[in-house]
A and B are shown apart, each in its own frame.
Chain A
């Protein structure tokens, strides 16, 4: 099966919160990441969390990690039209700059006016 799984689409109204979910299978995953890809662009690193943390907040972004269930989520508060993109969850054992990343298929975030 897939190492990292995400639902393919999420539709939210502008101004609401978006919650993008991800599950992973490898219990030795130490670093968990969220990347954003806008149409025609490369990947932008949004945030990451270590496996010994359960929450990380950065402005409008909140990452929650349930290590027991191997579940990661990204909450975007006050979703704006500029948040429309594909969001990729990724994991790594030693760090994305050390041994590369395993990505999910990405979640298309669609913003309704």
Chain B
């Protein structure tokens, strides 16, 4: 299994600002994933982060709004840029040491005011 830590666990941000969320895994993982969970909703995949290449974004998500870094096999960041209240969500990162299992961090609860 993999233990995934996210920072910050929660934040309240002003609209128009940006927040960078960090995700640290206790072992090397090939792929890391970023998900969004809007209030009362399910999880939606934002993008896949692979070391050494640009992240791959799902339909409806763009790099300018959600830039992602993946400098090594244990770390990734997601930035939520130029935030609006609609960006208020829980953001979760995920990864697995193998292809089958995917483990999640505890999430970052973002409120934009």
Majority SS at the chain A contact face: loop
Tell me the smallest distance from the CB of A110 to a CB of chain B, in Å: 16
**B43 CB contacts on chain A under 8 angstroms:** 43, 88, 101, 103
Chain B contact patch, size range:
20 to 34
Cβ-defined contact, A95 with B104, below 8 A: no
Whole-angstrom CA separation of A42 from B4 in the bound complex:
10
A102 at the interface (CB under 8 A from B): yes
Q: Mark B44-59, 1 if CB is under 8 A from A, else 0.
A: 1100100000000000
Task: Give which listed residue, B42, B100, B106, contacts A31 with CB less than 8 A.
Answer: B100
- Given contacts A97-B97, A103-B43, are A42 and B31 in contact (CB under 8 A)? no
Q: Which residues of B91-113 have CB atoms within 8 Å of chain A's CB atoms?
A: 92, 94-107
Cβ-defined contact, A48 with B100, below 8 A: yes
A96 at the interface (CB under 8 A from B): yes
Of chain B, the residue at the smallest CB distance from A6 is B42
Task: Give which listed residue, B29, B45, B107, contacts A101 with CB less than 8 A.
Answer: B45
**A94 CB contacts on chain B under 8 angstroms:** 99
**A48 CB contacts on chain B under 8 angstroms:** 100-101
Cβ-defined contact, B107 with A97, below 8 A: no
Cβ-defined contact, B96 with A102, below 8 A: no
List residues of B whose CB falls within 8 A of some A CB: 4, 29-31, 33, 41-45, 48, 92, 94-107
